[in-house]
Structure 1
């Protein structure tokens, strides 16, 4: 009986360790004195993209040199900007108005040459954008559009999530269908596919909760309250838990949650309003902003 009890304790301690995350260090980054928001760390973790408080423009902050470079000043470029070809190219949206109607185009810029390309002309229905290696995949008015800007042709096309009329859709093998795993009576935000392509992360507005489900929408698992969730490798998700008084955010913390929803850890305390995290592909670095536009780099260690 004692051996059985000890065995259970060993198993439980292994499980807890297996779901562990530890903050190694947190560093305030010295930028150029301008406010920086919605930071995104590059796939290799060597630079950070930041935008303005209205999501206009994109700037690159080199972590090795501390150099800040302006990539574009286009309106709305900071909304869900993405990396292509290992981080050598940035894919971003540009908003423009015709009368009172807003149109969105999709563009890319090569960081070495500075060359900018228009991938999708201005449209009213750009519903989802993903990048796989050097290929950009977009859902425009429910139809898949692919643009190879670097590297070899993809052997298989990954699943592409999109949002239309606050509902969650998935495009698989060129066909788009409504998914909405939590029903059609709620709204959805921030969908993304795990790096290995097997899981879908999303946020349910009406519940203020993040979920992970299978790529076909089955088996949705709640991660609890977690806004602006993003993948940190295949096993972890990071996001923020924030509250407001109806006018301004009163506090916000960065949390990490296992993709199974079994382990939840606060990575920041309540001494600062910390928001909108982004994680490196190897799950070793997290960047986030404060309400004042200060950027922090956090190094973490995780174990499966």
Structure 2
């Protein structure tokens, strides 16, 4: 059958009719009319994946196998079809989009060419609801060690996550008086990621322990304390973190490279003597030359 239109750019358009004659036709049967997906506003909660729903496409008639096809156009979910012939499981996985509270509807279309009822649909109901439990602060970490070399200015922030353990919205804010640390954000609504930056200028070799607090006026476990330790180092090659470079450090490097010994303290880059962002035999050779043959000082050292 050809459909014509004097105005359409795709005229004529073919429509194919398929005639299938059988004594025992297949009959598509889908085990649900509506699939339900329920999500919380703002966040599902710490480590909680978006929900899913499952159902089956069956052939309750004759003529096996019954092939079927699935189509959908939605940003709300994905569809997994476990087999192209019935019986087959169907899995719908919600996509978390941060939508406001409300009900959102979409449709999945099933087409089985040989079924006496060849087309069927499943409505997907995507409900976003407020949190159902009192918020509780969840943090991605409670102890951070931040190493930095003397007189190198600001260092790249370490990411820190704040969330509501139970799902739903929660506002938060930070209270801190850490002289060397600067958070990239001091308040927000979950889920949030902010950086813990540091400025080493003015701080000499040593350790600087401190802490800050994450508050939420809505959470049952507010405030939460986060401990931070600033470990300032001076020399590349000071493997044992005592502010000296000597044979003990060379022995430490040999053990690290060849005997599965501990790594350099307080950070891997202390052992990078030639500034190639690696620790290997070249650094060991550089170290020997520096200690015993008046070779150049380790790259990046003040003296």
TM-score (normalised: structure 1): 0.19
User: Taking CA–CA contacts closer than 8 Å with sequence separation of 6 or more, which of the two structures ends up with the larger relative contact order?
Assistant: 1
